[in-house]
Chain A
């Protein structure tokens, strides 16, 4: 493997004495699609939130392109090229779709402190190009509060792309979507990532999405990694079957 893009080393986080994440280490190569799976409460979200600075680890390091980013706030991690989508979508409900992306672009261009020029005249074409990339251009003028759930996820993706990230962190990108939509969103994400050479780390419960799109899979159980490898290896791993996949009916 060439120089890893993202390295987690011995991450530990305890909540009220219980270790939610207990010594997790892994690396992510540039352009790789890596899935993080595991039962509820295994520590996926905690692990995820430590990577982009939302939670400060009790111990361990996070490195991005060799640079130690442990303990940096999320906005600083974003500046370094990490885009993020959330399990429950987080967008600006009082704004139109275009304004949402515009806000991300204004931040990207470091123009947020402007008091004079109306924002409505700034970065419109750029915002529309991003919306076009995720197939949302037709909805640019709609208030974001009335969007369907899948479209909100796409909007989040567009906002994450505004800063030309090297890495996308997607927490349950397809939660709350119908199976067919899930596949479509992940295909779109994969295509964009491939085209721009972006690495993607995602958590997911839908095994079709995981085994259909991930280059590699990590399995977390009770805060520890119990398996890592190519999808087929992980699927065949007896331990993973026992704690997570079950009989494979669902």
Chain B
């Protein structure tokens, strides 16, 4: 009994911190429509800054009450100021960019902050002091509760109340709500949008910073705080309904308690519990608990341009380079061949995601699930049924396609960020199955010894095999885009209303496209497994999904050749940067940021534009 009560209280305390971060995220999204991936980084910076202020410098010398609480508040304000600065320097330039492009920019910020934090604070964990006035525990009904936890529990509702007052009782809040619906109209009524947006970023970032700073007495400050909290904060915001503060609060309570009790009740599936709950909520309520269906897109958002083939010269050059590569392969060493086979796999992986994102107009944050499904299908077939590579490569696309049919049936009903989060949830579920079902998948140890058949074991033969299969896959995907199916896919993306009115079953088209793409991702995954000789749960983890996303976005969503260029650029860049410098994240982040700011149509878009200008 006692243990349960303490557990429940701990859950409420985490819920408060979660709510602080999620409220900032949802406020920023509400007004600017930017899904701020870097919000977790702001949270982490809040914790690091608070640690610095509390243990070094003038405030630390002051000590006592102000030494701690002054440090916490100062950290929150500094993070707020940083948020405002980021808005003014980076995000302001990309408000008119597509949603996913904005995500790419904020992801670049995540990478940059990671390395900056490492440079400033080092790799070792930091421990903060206890909070003055709130040390020790109080006794309620014979049970001892830590004072600090009780304080945190109160912070959530208080912040919710203050935010409600801000939004409903102040002019600033009313303007924010109006801007959430129609920014341009607000500016036509004499309100300086830029100030409003900067203020919103300040507010949202300060909330994240406060959330991080308040963690100081509870847990160690580490470099992993950012990714851990951002995924949960997204889950909270999505479960609550985008833009809804009370929804975020409810969802934070739900997730906080789920964490506290999940470990007692379902120790085997703790890792997925949160995502299972999100999946259930989204299937039952496609706009979250308290979210409203999104209105029509703003007038400024225009349909993507007609996809155009690359200029002729460029196309010939690409084909020429490809032919030269295939001819030169026998003269290359093992390492370049391994690298080239990987590139082929990534190209197919990115091209399959592109079918969903470009013509399909859907976002997937969990495309690695199908990559992994293919890899595991091949691996398990070999391990448990001794099926040869040929069988694995043949069946992997079907296995991944089936997983795609299953997950897609849920995911393609939703749109935008909700759909993206549901795909992420399913990918996490798949990941934790691979991770926790040790008897079958080997868990964290993975499946080893997944080698190709003898004839394909040489690096050269395997490169040719990869090139052939990936080339075939990309070609089939491109055919589909230009075939009636691709036309129908674009039709439902451009106008769901009109598509239905001419007899197109948008759900079925999206569903089939999702499964079709999943099948090719599965083929890529199986090839990757044989190339590496092993399958690990990381094949289906979030970073791999993000890789695919970045490749597609870098290449350009609205160009057919985009994913190919994007895959080569991203994989190549990552590989090269990791070889030359420790700070590859920082550099990669800066490069992505530069691309987003200067090539808003992606690499292929920029090339096509350049080609047009010359033509």
Contact = CB atoms under 8 A, between A and B. Distances in A.
A touching B, CB within 8 angstroms: yes
Interface of A: 52, 54, 73-75, 78-79, 83-84, 86, 90-96, 99, 102-104, 106-108, 111-120, 122, 143, 145, 156, 159-160, 162-163
Given A90-B497, A91-B498, A112-B509, A103 B483 contact: no
B484 A119 contact: yes
Given A92-B494, A122-B484, A103 B502 contact: yes
A108 B613 CA distance: 40
A31 to B, nearest CB: 22
B495 A118 contact: no
A94 B490 contact: yes
A93 B303 CA distance: 5
B482 A52 contact: no
Contacts of A75: 500-505
B70 interface: no
B480 interface: yes
B516 to A, nearest CB: 8
Nearest to A90: B498
A54 B496 CA distance: 12
Interface of B: 302-307, 476, 479-480, 482-488, 490-491, 493-495, 497-505, 509, 512, 516
Given A52-B501, A90-B497, A92-B494, A113 B512 contact: yes
10 contacts: A75-B502, A90-B497, A93-B494, A94-B304, A95-B490, A103-B504, A111-B484, A115-B485, A118-B483, A162-B502
Contacts of B479: 115-116, 118
Contact of B485 (A52, A113, A156, A160): A113
B486 A92 contact: no
A86 B482 contact: no
A25 B21 CA distance: 54
B145 to A, nearest CB: 44
B306 A119 contact: no
Contacts of A145: 302-303, 305
Given A90-B498, A103-B504, A114 B303 contact: no
Nearest to B506: A75
Given A94-B306, A95-B306, A96-B306, A106 B487 contact: yes
A200 B483 CA distance: 34
B501 A84 contact: yes
A83 B501 CA distance: 7
B497 A92 contact: no
- Of all A-B residue pairs in the complex, the 7 with the closest CB atoms, nearest first, are A93-B303, A90-B498, A92-B494, A114-B484, A112-B488, A104-B502, A107-B503
Given A106-B484, A122-B484, A159 B307 contact: no
A45 to B, nearest CB: 13
Contacts of A93: 302-304, 494-495
Nearest to B500: A74
Contacts of B504: 75, 103, 107, 112
Contacts of B485: 112-115
Contacts of A84: 501
Interface centre among B303, B479, B487, B495 (most CB of A within 10 A): B487
Contact of A78 (B487, B502, B509): B502
Nearest to A93: B303
Contacts of B304: 93-94
B271 to A, nearest CB: 37
Given A106-B488, A118-B483, A120-B482, A94 B303 contact: yes
Contact of A107 (B483, B486, B502): B502
A107 B491 CA distance: 11
Given A78-B500, A108-B503, A113-B512, 4 more contacts: A86-B498, A95-B306, A96-B306, A102-B487
A102 B480 CA distance: 16
Nearest to A104: B502
A86 B501 CA distance: 10
A78 B503 contact: yes
B385 to A, nearest CB: 30
B482 A118 contact: yes
A92 B484 CA distance: 14
A119 B491 contact: no
Given A112-B485, A120-B482, A73 B500 contact: yes
Contacts of A86: 497-498, 501
Nearest to A73: B500
B424 to A, nearest CB: 27
Contacts of A92: 303, 490-491, 494-495, 498-499
B306 A117 contact: no
A184 to B, nearest CB: 23
B303 A103 contact: no
Contacts of B505: 75
Contact of B501 (A90, A108, A111): A90
A244 to B, nearest CB: 28
